[in-house]
């Protein structure tokens, strides 16, 4: 059985649904690790990537109230917040939460004349579906960032948000996406995918767009030239079959468009949510990374998101098929609302150390996986 | 054991090469297969106990420790007997079988205090006392002007059952001079353990890595344990954990010198050292994963890198918490983590006999 799967992997043949199920059910984590490492090496050599990035959540007010989410609030709830574009710009000007107003933050990068420079390469923007903000508000937010920081790459809005924008604006998906692209949107994150299976999804997030719709939005984004990521939320009420089917749907779309950059498995966090559950365990996290690497043979990158996995398991994930551990992040609200056990911020030195001690070569990347600096 | 003897042992040179190796998975697979030979039934054990510190006053003041206080410090304490007995009763009520009783080297305490403590416990409770690591034994014997074997015999008669392996840190005097110059030497630590084994007491052995040691020092440590174990067979388990730099003098000094003490040991290093420990210590039956220092997720992964024991449920833990690490884990979390890794969880006693299967 394993030999057959191994032969397939070594000869570059595709794994089937059954193969993936076998791998998930397997207890041989060393086999999984070795095969996934082989596949990762074929794609990225010994490199493991990180990025100087910052997360921004413009609002937590959301008309969807997904049951696994501890971040969202209704308008008027305690803790509900809304950021202005000016506040977002300010957050993007300082390098770390402790850098303060005076810009003690390191600003090493060269600026184009007349523009302030953000200490980051990429901003990651996701937020709630605000009941009152018009589509223009989001477009202006993106243009303001683009105007202020022309070199900063803007990765913003999940498929769920894009679908919502198209509805509130009365525009087609294509027009919605093109309009954001014109405003300065560079990329889209992969959130909102959760688990595509309709039965699980109805229990998890009944108000959210369907898996089918999520894939349609992504397909359109890819068609208009916007690269995106993809995610999968695991460790709640789904089983291995749901995970495998989810991966297959992503692989299928990637065959068609080639527009996905990275796949990011997201481990469920139970605190303050309406799902009875527990934190995922280490072996489960590593297995999911490994099987994802092996199944998604048409994805260049598998990301071990340290905010959710923790620094320790993210580092190990680099030995189980991942080639990216995300970045500096700086401020993280979504997972922390659900009881994240991690910090919100890692320095470049910490990221480099984690990668190096995993026996990999740390590479600082830009938003499109172009190498900026290789740490030998 | 006879079969083991015919197999070629890992040499010091090989252990060093393993520690420097980049292939974590290969090491892990080897350690996992040795663990499977030693424990083919697939059980992973844990002990229900309480870590009770009778004092935090300590004359040794080790640089890696965030727990000690001077006697006149406002946070200095010496345990109140009623408190102690209440803590033990609670432990028993929670299904506990042992207390881990340890403390600082308090300048005012003499052997009578320890005897009184032990007899007081044993008069009231049927519980195993796993207590007084070698630095304490040595201190009690020095201040009583009695030999180590005599001291051990007196304490044993008063009710001491077993000795924890703390204070070993790294059994390399080069490292000890830097880390804990006032603490007993490597050979003194080993001597206390040897004497205890001679008296029929079982003990554990620990190793605290990730401070200022080199891989050579780790090999030296493992070799000292293996050599003594060949002679006495008295060690029940080996427990490697990583140095936690928060709030310690070592970390403060490093900060003042303008550098970060580069030692929160990463996951890959922890698993590597764990695997090498499993492979090198072929004569020590049990190897503990340390969730207290590594967190539950990584401790679970450690079960596939040589560990077969989850340590204690730690109803109370003060020393690591003083260094700012506070992973919170319940007995149910531990049982679930073991099951989720496809092992059968079982509560054990101090001597690794099964108490209850879960």
Which phi and psi (to 5°) does residue B240 adopt? -90, 135
Instruction: Determine the 3-state secondary structure of A302 from DSSP.
Output: strand
B245, HSE (Cβ side, Cα atoms, 13 Å): 17
Q: Do residues B118 and B129 touch, judged by C-beta distance below 8 A?
A: yes
Question: Rounded to a whole number, what is the distance in Å from the CA of A152 to chain B's nearest CA?
Answer: 30
Q: Which residues of B touch A (CB under 8 A)?
A: 22, 24-25, 28-29, 32, 260, 262, 266-271, 294-301, 304, 336-337, 340-342
> Closest residue of A to B26, CA-based?
A30
Mark which residues 315-354 of A lie under 8 Å from B by CB: 315-316, 319, 341, 349, 353-354
Taken in order A152, A158, A159, A162, the sign of the CA dihedral is negative
What is d(CA A306, CA A347) in angstroms, rounded to the nearest whole number? Answer: 13
A266-B311-B84 Cα angle (round to 5)? 120
Listed residue (A285, A158, A128, A172) closest to A230, CA to CA: A158
Whether residue B146 has pLDDT greater than 80: yes
First-to-final CA distance of chain A: 39
Give Cα A213 distance to the centre of its chain.
Answer: 18
Angle between helix axes B186-198 and B134-144 (nearest 10 degrees) is: 90
Cβ neighbours of residue B142 under 8 Å, at least 6 residues apart? none
Let me know if B97 is exposed, middle or buried by CB neighbors in 10 A (0-12, 13-18, 19+): buried
Whether residue B343 has pLDDT greater than 80: yes
* Rg, chain A, Cα only: 20
What is d(CA B281, CA B229) in angstroms, rounded to the nearest whole number? Answer: 9
Instruction: Determine the 3-state secondary structure of A325 from DSSP.
Output: strand
* Structure tokens that stand for A266 in this block: 């997201």
Whether residue B326 has pLDDT greater than 60: no
What is d(CA A297, CA A301) in angstroms, rounded to the nearest whole number? Answer: 10
First-to-final CA distance of chain B: 29
Which phi and psi (to 5°) does residue A229 adopt? -100, 175
B194-B195-B197 Cα angle (round to 5)? 65
DSSP state of A143: H
Beta strands A227-234 and B43-47, pairing class: unpaired
Q: What per-residue confidence (pLDDT) applies to A111?
A: 45
Cβ neighbours of residue B168 under 8 Å, at least 6 residues apart? B134, B189, B205, B206, B207, B208, B221
Q: What per-residue confidence (pLDDT) applies to B327?
A: 57
Whether residue A59 has pLDDT greater than 50: yes
Put simply, whether A285 touches B (Cβ < 8 Å) is yes
Whether residue A338 has pLDDT greater than 70: yes
Cβ neighbours of residue A355 under 8 Å, at least 6 residues apart? A48, A50, A315, A318, A325, A361, A362, A375
Whether residue A255 has pLDDT greater than 90: yes
Mean of per-residue pLDDT scores for chain B: 91
Q: Which residues of A touch B32 (CB under 8 A)?
A: 30
Mean pLDDT of B115-133: 97
ipTM of the complex: 0.90
Q: Where are the beta strands (DSSP E) in A95-159?
A: 122-125, 153-156
Going from the C-alpha of B337 to that of each of A308, B199, B291, B329, the distances in angstroms are: 18, 37, 11, 10
Mutate to test the interface with A, among B297, B304, B306, B332 (most CBs of A within 10 A): B297
Write the pLDDT tens digit of every residue in A24-48: 999 999 999 999 999 999 999 999 9
Write the pLDDT tens digit of every residue in A140-187: 999 999 999 999 999 999 999 999 999 999 999 999 999 999 999 999
Q: Which residues of B touch A358 (CB under 8 A)?
A: 266, 268
Percent of chain B topping pLDDT 70: 90
What is d(CA A33, CA A35) in angstroms, rounded to the nearest whole number? Answer: 6
What is d(CA A261, CA A367) in angstroms, rounded to the nearest whole number? Answer: 10
Establish, for the pair of chains A and B, how many residue pairs have beta carbons separated by less than 8 Å: 75
Going from the C-alpha of B243 to that of each of A57, A312, B289, the distances in angstroms are: 37, 15, 14
* Structure tokens that stand for B30 in this block: 């080897």
Write the pLDDT tens digit of every residue in A223-251: 999 999 999 999 999 999 999 999 999 99
Specify the DSSP element, H or E, that contains B276: helix B267-280
B300-B302-B307 Cα angle (round to 5)? 110
Taken in order A347, A234, B298, B325, the sign of the CA dihedral is positive
Let me know if B128 is exposed, middle or buried by CB neighbors in 10 A (0-12, 13-18, 19+): buried
When pLDDT is cut at 50, 70 and 90, the band that residue A96 belongs to is: low
Write the pLDDT tens digit of every residue in A345-372: 889 999 999 999 999 999 999 999 999 9
Which phi and psi (to 5°) does residue B64 adopt? -95, 0
A49-A50-A51 Cα angle (round to 5)? 135
Cβ neighbours of residue B47 under 8 Å, at least 6 residues apart? B97, B98, B311, B312, B313, B347, B348, B349, B350
Q: Is A283 within 8 Å of B294 when comparing Cβ atoms?
A: no
Write the pLDDT tens digit of every residue in A211-225: 999 999 999 999 999
Q: Which residues of B touch A285 (CB under 8 A)?
A: 297
Beta strands B354-357 and B344-348, pairing class: antiparallel
């Amino acid at each position: 059985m394993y030999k057959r799967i191994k032969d397939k992997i070594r000869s570059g043949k595709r794994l089937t649904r059954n193969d993936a199920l076998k791998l998930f059910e397997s207890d041989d984590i060393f086999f999984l690790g070795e095969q996934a490492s082989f596949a990762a090496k074929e794609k990225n050599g010994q490199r493991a990537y990180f990025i100087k990035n910052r997360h921004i959540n413009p609002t937590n007010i959301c008309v969807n109230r997904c049951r696994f989410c501890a971040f969202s609030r209704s308008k008027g709830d305690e803790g509900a917040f809304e950021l202005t574009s000016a506040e977002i710009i300010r957050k993007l000007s300082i390098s770390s939460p402790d850098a303060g107003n005076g810009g003690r933050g390191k600003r090493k990068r060269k600026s184009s004349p007349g523009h302030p420079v953000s200490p980051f390469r990429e901003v990651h923007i996701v937020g709630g579906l605000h009941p009152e903000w018009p589509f223009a508000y989001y477009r202006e937010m993106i243009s303001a960032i683009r105007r202020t920081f022309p070199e900063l790459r803007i990765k913003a809005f999940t498929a769920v948000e894009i679908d919502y924008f198209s509805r509130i604006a009365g525009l087609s998906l294509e027009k919605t996406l093109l309009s954001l692209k014109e405003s300065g949107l560079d990329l889209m994150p992969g959130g909102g995918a959760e688990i595509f299976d309709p039965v699980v999804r109805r229990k998890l997030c009944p108000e959210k767009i369907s898996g089918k719709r999520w894939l349609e939005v992504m397909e359109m984004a890819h068609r208009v030239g916007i690269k995106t990521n993809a995610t999968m939320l695991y460790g709640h009420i789904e089983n291995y079959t749901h995970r495998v089917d989810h991966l297959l749907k992503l692989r299928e779309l990637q065959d068609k468009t080639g527009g996905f950059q990275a796949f990011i498995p997201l481990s469920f966090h139970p605190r303050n949510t309406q799902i009875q559950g527990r934190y995922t365990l280490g072996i489960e996290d590593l297995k999911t990374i490994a099987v994802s690497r092996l199944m998604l043979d048409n994805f260049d990158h598998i990301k071990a998101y340290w905010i959710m996995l923790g620094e320790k398991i993210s580092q190990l994930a680099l030995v189980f098929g991942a080639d990216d551990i995300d970045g500096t992040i700086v401020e993280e609200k979504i997972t922390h609302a659900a009881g994240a056990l991690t910090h919100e911020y890692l320095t470049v030195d910490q990221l480099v150390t984690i990668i190096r001690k995993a026996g990999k070569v740390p590479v600082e990347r830009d938003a499109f996986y172009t190498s900026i600096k290789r740490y030998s | 054991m006879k079969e083991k003897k015919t197999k070629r042992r890992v040499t010091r040179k090989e252990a060093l090469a393993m520690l420097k190796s980049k292939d974590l998975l290969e090491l892990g697979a080897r350690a996992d297969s040795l663990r499977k030979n030693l424990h083919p039934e697939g059980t992973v054990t844990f002990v229900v106990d309480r870590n009770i510190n009778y004092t935090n006053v300590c004359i040794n003041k080790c640089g890696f420790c965030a727990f000690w206080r001077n006697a006149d410090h406002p946070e200095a304490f010496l345990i109140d007997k009623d408190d102690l007995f209440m803590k033990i009763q609670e432990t028993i009520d929670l299904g506990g079988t042992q207390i881990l009783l340890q403390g600082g080297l308090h300048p005012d305490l003499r052997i009578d205090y320890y005897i009184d403590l032990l007899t007081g416990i044993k008069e009231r409770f049927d519980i195993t006392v796993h207590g007084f690591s070698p630095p304490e034994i040595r201190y009690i014997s020095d201040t009583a002007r009695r030999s180590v074997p005599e001291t051990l015999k007196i304490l044993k008669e008063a009710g001491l059952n077993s000795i924890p392996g703390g204070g070993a840190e790294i059994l390399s005097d080069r490292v000890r001079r830097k880390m804990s110059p006032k603490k007993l030497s490597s050979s003194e630590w080993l001597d206390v353990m040897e004497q205890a084994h001679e008296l029929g007491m079982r003990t554990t052995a620990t190793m605290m890595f990730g401070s200022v040691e080199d891989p050579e020092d780790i090999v030296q440590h493992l070799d000292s344990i293996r050599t003594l174990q060949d002679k006495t067979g008295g060690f029940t388990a080996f427990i490697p954990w990583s140095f936690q730099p928060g709030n310690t003098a070592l970390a403060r000094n490093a900060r003042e010198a303008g550098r970060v003490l580069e030692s929160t040991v990463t996951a890959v290093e922890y698993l590597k050292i764990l695997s090498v420990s499993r492979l090198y210590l072929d004569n020590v039956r049990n190897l503990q994963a340390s969730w207290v220092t590594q967190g539950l997720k990584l401790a679970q992964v450690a079960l596939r890198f040589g560990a077969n024991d989850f340590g204690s449920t730690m109803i109370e833990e003060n020393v690591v918490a003083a260094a700012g690490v506070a992973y919170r884990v319940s007995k149910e979390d531990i049982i679930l983590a073991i099951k989720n890794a496809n092992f059968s969880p079982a509560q054990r006693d101090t001597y690794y006999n099964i108490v209850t299967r879960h």
